[in-house]
């Protein structure tokens, strides 16, 4: 394939202070798909998606039930943020230290995830995180996870599966501020 990526994308982070002023804006290529995305290619041979969920459990799930469109307050799937700074590895199946949803110490309020743009060869998702914790919070990692609701054999069972993880230049979300993260996944970038 002469070194060309089949799948790739971009990440964008926008930090606003409590008055809505942009205090930091980062946009860069992502290079963070984990092995679970590679295993998507096997679904055509096996009619199942053989993955490792965020608990480390190997499962065969029905990929048709996969969704990344998490509602507000949901911190198990969709775009996720964390404080872990461990280097990226393709075999990772979860964020190193996910920040939980909430308004307590060290927590961020997870907004609803939405599709903000799409085309024949890309899709872009966005999610905002409000800091009402009483102190600044520094984010070191971001990721995207999906939720599946059925196993390949048709049994109803929910699993959360990490698709991508990026270790980023640390971004501090000020108390009362907001972090907005955009992921763009592309085919043949």
Rounded distance between C-alpha atoms, residue 2 and residue 6, angstroms: 11
pLDDT score of 20 more than 90 = yes
More confident residue, 1 or 152: 152
Q: What is the pLDDT of residues 58-88, one digit of tens each?
A: 888 888 888 999 999 999 999 999 999 998 8
Q: What is the mean pLDDT of the chain?
A: 87
Residue 41 has pLDDT above 60, yes or no: no
Q: Using one digit for the tens of pLDDT, what is the confidence trace for 111-161? A: 999 999 888 878 899 999 999 999 999 999 999 999 999 988 889 999 999
Q: Which of 54, 50, 8 has the alpha carbon at shortest distance from 146?
A: 54
């Amino acid at each position: 394939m002469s070194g060309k990526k089949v799948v790739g994308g971009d990440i964008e982070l926008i930090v606003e202070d409590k008055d809505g002023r942009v205090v930091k804006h980062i946009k860069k290529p992502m290079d963070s798909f984990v092995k679970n995305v590679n295993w998507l290619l096997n679904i055509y041979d096996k009619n199942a998606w053989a993955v490792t969920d965020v608990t480390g459990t190997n499962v065969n799930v029905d990929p048709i039930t996969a969704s990344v469109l998490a509602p507000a307050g949901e911190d198990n799937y969709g775009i996720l943020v964390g404080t872990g700074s461990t280097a990226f590895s393709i075999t990772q199946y979860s964020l190193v230290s996910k920040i939980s949803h909430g308004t307590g110490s060290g927590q961020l309020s997870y907004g609803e995830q939405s599709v903000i743009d799409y085309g024949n060869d890309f899709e872009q998702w966005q999610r905002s995180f409000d800091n009402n914790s009483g102190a600044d919070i520094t984010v070191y990692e971001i990721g995207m996870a999906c939720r599946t609701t059925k196993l390949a054999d048709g049994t109803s069972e929910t699993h959360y599966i990490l698709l991508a993880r990026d270790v980023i230049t640390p971004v501090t979300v000020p108390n009362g501020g907001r972090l907005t993260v955009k992921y763009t996944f592309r085919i043949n970038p």
